[in-house]
Amino acid sequence: MALDTTTDAAMRHEVPSAEPELEAGLQRLLALITEAPVNEARAYIHELEARWPDDARVRHYARVLAPPVTRVLPGVRGRPLDRDYAWIREHAREHPGCWLAVYEDRLIAADPDLGRVIEATREREPEVRDALLHFEPKVLK
């Protein structure tokens, strides 16, 4: 499988730009991604897209930061997530920098490595395989 070198380079920031404003904008975007709520980064990427629509890095981040798309399958009903979200509101901040697998009102796994969390949920009883995954960012002060 061939790598998309444009996207690969964009992610590693190896494509130098003749525009210092674009570079400064990308650095601000990276700071927002790591330090601010995702909605702030999503709003800012739209500003960058308006100014530099053809830049591969801007297009990459616009795609990555786009809100997820969901769809409803006819005849398939998911489980209620009210208890999961309540647990997250109450306890997620106790696990900064970790991925959490929550099932109803209990924590199934917490780890900075998403792969470990997924593996832990797969090792449990079948119902928790539908655990809600959540990432709790570190709060920078």
Q: Looking at the domain assignment, is residue 77 inside a domain?
A: no
Q: Looking at the domain assignment, is residue 103 inside a domain?
A: yes
Q: Looking at the domain assignment, is residue 121 inside a domain?
A: yes
- Has residue 124 got a pLDDT over 90? no
| Domain housing 45 | 5-65
Whether residue 128 sits in one domain with residue 99: yes
- Has residue 2 got a pLDDT over 70? no
Amino acid at the residue 25: G
* Residues written for the chain: 141
3-state secondary structure of 53: coil
Looking from the CA of 102 toward its CB, the CA atoms found within 13 Å total: 25
Number of domains making up the chain: 2
Q: Looking at the domain assignment, is residue 20 inside a domain?
A: yes
Residue 98's CB is within 10 A of a number of other CB atoms, namely 20
Q: Looking at the domain assignment, is residue 141 inside a domain?
A: no
Sign of CA dihedral 69, 12, 38, 89: positive
Q: What is the pLDDT of residues 6-55, one digit of tens each?
A: 444 444 444 455 689 999 999 999 999 888 888 899 999 999 999 999 99
Q: Which carries the bigger pLDDT value, residue 141 or residue 134? A: 134
Q: What is the pLDDT of residues 66-108, one digit of tens each?
A: 988 888 889 888 889 999 999 999 999 999 999 999 999 999 9
Q: Looking at the domain assignment, is residue 76 inside a domain?
A: no
pLDDT of residue 44: 96
By the 10 Å C-beta count (0-12 exposed, 13-18 middle, 19+ buried), 80 is classed as exposed
Q: In angstroms, rounded to a whole number, what is the distance separating the alpha carbons of residues 84 and 105?
A: 6
